[in-house]
């Protein structure tokens, strides 16, 4: 685990997992690097109940910097580039690639092998591109949530 990280007492992080600086793993979140590797960048927040996992001998999991993974999301054996928001309850399956600056809407399902172009807003089951991420959405959601989770973690580390 990198410097200045917060790991909630009910979070589970196991196996071949490497986490960068300023990350937070919240209550009942599971990061299971038991069957393949998980690589997490800097300033990533993994919110309550989220599950990060991989596929044995097939798909590791790579997450870039400044990524927010919403409550109860499942992120499995894929690549998530920098500055991405994965909404609450979303599912990202094996071998998917989420381009930088994208938003995966709450409840969306990114099917196996889907390549999401940078700056895409994806929604639905299965998820479809519904447009670009606007500068306002980027600033008011992707950047704000990532920044706020760093602040929230500081409250728990001080107490």
What's 6-158's CATH class? mainly beta
pLDDT of res. 159: 52
Using alpha carbons, list the distances in angstroms from residue 107 to 21, 65, 90, 128: 28, 22, 4, 12
Q: What's the CA gap between 102 and 8, in Å, rounded?
A: 27
Task: For residue 146, give both structure tokens.
Answer: 């990532």
Task: For residue 14, give both structure tokens.
Answer: 């196991």
Task: For residue 141, give both structure tokens.
Answer: 């959601």
pLDDT of res. 18: 97
Average pLDDT of 43-52?
A: 98
The answer to whether the Cα torsion of 1, 60, 73, 98 is positive or negative is positive
pLDDT band at 148 (very low <50, low <70, confident <90, very high): very high
């Amino acid at each position: 685990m990198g410097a200045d990280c917060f790991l909630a007492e009910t979070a589970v992080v196991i196996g071949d997992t490497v986490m960068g600086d300023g990350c937070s793993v919240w209550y009942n979140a599971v990061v299971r690097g038991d069957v393949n590797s998980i690589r997490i960048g800097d300033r990533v927040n993994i919110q309550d109940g989220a599950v990060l996992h991989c596929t044995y001998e097939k798909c590791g999991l790579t997450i870039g910097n400044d990524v927010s993974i919403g409550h109860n999301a499942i992120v499995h054996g894929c690549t998530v580039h920098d500055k991405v928001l994965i909404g609450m309850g979303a599912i990202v399956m094996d071998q998917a690639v989420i381009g930088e600056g994208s938003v995966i809407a709450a409840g969306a399902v990114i099917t196996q092998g889907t390549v999401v172009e940078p700056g895409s807003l994806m929604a639905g089951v299965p998820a479809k591109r519904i447009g670009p991420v606007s500068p306002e959405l980027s600033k008011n959601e992707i950047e704000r949530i990532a920044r706020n989770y760093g602040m929230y973690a500081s409250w728990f580390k001080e107490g």
